[in-house]
Amino acid sequence: MKKLKRFIIYLRLWFIRQMGYNLPSLREATFIVPGQLYDHFGRVVRAVPSKMPATDNGDCKEQEEVPEHCLQCDLYNKHIPCSFNHRMANGNDICKNHHFEIICLNSGNI
């Protein structure tokens, strides 16, 4: 099942590239849509639901200790900056119930 999902994502990327579209930049997005593919520092990323919801420990940038929900995020684990708008369309923080997954390098600049 996981291989099928990965195949569908790569098929979407191929189709986007063939149509000449560009992925929206995660840093410039007005709000984040879970499951949407974004370009972020030369990588294709998307927000996926977290296995465990985040506890209210505050923001990643304001604490000395790293919150548990940041430890699940590929951006944190690969040392990629995540200083951007973390809000969804409904006003909730995306990091509360989701984490970011790096799909692949964006070598074709789509």
CA distances from 14 to 48, 55, 67 (A): 20, 37, 35
DSSP characters over 68-82: HHHHT-HHHHTT---
In this prediction, residue 63 carries a pLDDT of 47
pLDDT, the chain, mean: 85
In the structure, what pLDDT confidence band is assigned to residue 2 with cuts at 50, 70 and 90? confident
Q: How far apart are CA 80 and CA 94, in angstroms?
A: 17
Q: What is the pTM of this model?
A: 0.81
In the numeric block, which tokens belong to residue 22? 């560009």
Tell me: the pLDDT tens digits for 51-101?
Answer: 866 555 555 455 468 788 888 899 999 999 887 778 899 989 998 899 999
In the numeric block, which tokens belong to residue 95? 């990091």
